[in-house]
Amino acid sequence: MEKIQTVEKQNSEQLNPSVTMSDSSSLANEQDAVIVADDLSKHFGTTKALDKVNCKIGGASIFGLIGSNGAGKSTFLRLTAGVYRPTEGAMLYRGQVIFDNPNAKREIIFVADQPYFHFENLRKMSALYRSLYETWDQDLYQELIRIFPIREDQRLDLLSKGMHRQAALILAIAAKPRLLLMDEAFDGLDPVMRQNLKRVLARQVADDGMTTLIASQNLRELEDFCDHVGLLHEGGLLFVEELDKLRLGLVKAQVAFRENVTAEQLRAMGLEILRFSARGSLVEILTRNTEEELRTILNQVNPLLLDVLPLTLEEVFIYELSCKSYIVSELLA
């Protein structure tokens, strides 16, 4: 088994529910979809936790589901895990209804935001998981308890929140599920353990074809890690896209001009400007042009400085949602 190289610790440290994942990109062909939500709704009394969500998520991938508190992320995961029965519509795993389906649930593990343990230590919990999951990998389990240093005999109820999460992740990953669901996977983990978790998950996806669905409020943790990201808000799906396509669709540049140049002048030259802000002699420009188009247009006015800057995932979502006239402050807080 390939070993995971751990990170050395350093001293520093209004909504349209008809929008669907498949509208914006083909995440999975019908026959390849691991998860399919078909007009999926879940109501708790008069509260609509999810309202007519449609999506397809393919295998051997890492999908990030983001949104503010109460957006429906945890409800979506519990429906995918078969904990909840849909109020309307269907949630399918490889073409099978998940709720009340032991065959589907054998291949799915859900790590909740607040993990629960039936026994007092990892030794007893690992024995339970070995009896429940035929795919349990003892060698992988031993490797994981070295990466996430928890002793098998430690009392789980006396551990910190972060160590609770580490214990739950050790058990879930060692069971080698085909579908791993995680609610706020990085919450409570220190920076070193976050990086180690990302390395472990990436290897399991690449080597074993595991599908991973992570619900989180933290965009920075999902950046450069997920293949696709979807945004839930008030029970509906606002936005979803492949990360590479998101970044290719926007370009940010920092420019210093020899003479005064206005946004109107640059728009007349063909630059599709989304934001134009001056800070002293420097101007920051966000456009929908390609980097090549941006450089070609700006070079016509002989800039003193022209640097193309990387975009964060948070910036991409803010700009995209702003263009859709959504209020983004609470979504990405």
CATH number of 168's domain: 3.40.50.300
Note whether residue 88 is domain-resident. Answer: yes
CA 29/CA 229 separation, integer angstroms: 17
CA 241/CA 255 separation, integer angstroms: 29
pLDDT of 8 higher than 50: no
The DSSP result for 221-275, as a single string, is HHTTT-SEEEEEETTEEEEEEEHHHHHHT-EEEEEE-SS---HHHHHHTT--EEE
Structural element, H or E, at residue 68: none
Q: Is 306 exposed, middle or buried (0-12, 13-18, 19+ CB in 10 A)?
A: middle
User: Could you give the count of Cα atoms lying within 13 Å of 257 in the half-sphere of its Cβ?
Assistant: 16
Q: Is 266 exposed, middle or buried (0-12, 13-18, 19+ CB in 10 A)?
A: buried
Mean pLDDT in residue range 307-321: 80
Note whether residue 40 is domain-resident. Answer: yes
Note whether residue 220 is domain-resident. Answer: yes
CATH of the domain at 300: 3.30.70
Note whether residue 319 is domain-resident. Answer: no
Please give the single-letter amino acid code of residue 141: Y
pLDDT of residue 12: 34
> Please, which pLDDT band fits residue 326 given cuts at 50, 70 and 90?
low
CA 153/CA 122 separation, integer angstroms: 6
User: Which one, of 17, 18, 21, lies nearest residue 230 by Cα?
Assistant: 21
pLDDT digits (tens, 9 = 90+) for 213-272: 999 887 888 887 898 988 888 888 877 778 777 777 789 999 999 888 999 999 999 999
pLDDT of 174 higher than 90: yes
The domain containing residue 288 runs over which residues?
251-310
pLDDT digits (tens, 9 = 90+) for 88-108: 999 999 999 999 999 999 999
**Whether 275 and 227 share a structural domain:** no
> Please, which pLDDT band fits residue 32 given cuts at 50, 70 and 90?
confident
Note whether residue 67 is domain-resident. Answer: yes
**Whether 141 and 264 share a structural domain:** no
Mean pLDDT in residue range 111-131: 95
**Whether 266 and 156 share a structural domain:** no
Which pair of tokens denotes residue 84?
Answer: 């909840």
Select from 245, 272, 294 the last residue of a domain. Answer: 245
**Whether 92 and 202 share a structural domain:** yes
Note whether residue 34 is domain-resident. Answer: yes
**Whether 68 and 176 share a structural domain:** yes
**Whether 30 and 162 share a structural domain:** yes
> Please, which pLDDT band fits residue 332 given cuts at 50, 70 and 90?
low
Residue 200, SS3?
Answer: helix
**Whether 257 and 239 share a structural domain:** no
Q: Is 13 exposed, middle or buried (0-12, 13-18, 19+ CB in 10 A)?
A: exposed
Q: End-to-end distance of the chain based on CA atoms, in angstroms? A: 40
Note whether residue 328 is domain-resident. Answer: no
**Whether 94 and 233 share a structural domain:** yes
- The contacts of residue 300 (CB under 8 Å, 6+ apart) are 269
Distances (CA, A) of 89 to 6, 25, 31: 43, 22, 19
Select from 202, 219, 245 the last residue of a domain. Answer: 245
**Whether 172 and 50 share a structural domain:** yes
Tally of domains in the chain: 2
Question: Between residues 218 and 298, which one has the greater pLDDT?
Answer: 298
**Whether 289 and 174 share a structural domain:** no
**Whether 192 and 44 share a structural domain:** yes
**Whether 304 and 211 share a structural domain:** no
pLDDT of residue 223: 81
pLDDT of 49 higher than 90: yes
Please give the single-letter amino acid code of residue 176: K
> Please, which pLDDT band fits residue 22 given cuts at 50, 70 and 90?
very low
pLDDT of 119 higher than 90: yes
Note whether residue 83 is domain-resident. Answer: yes
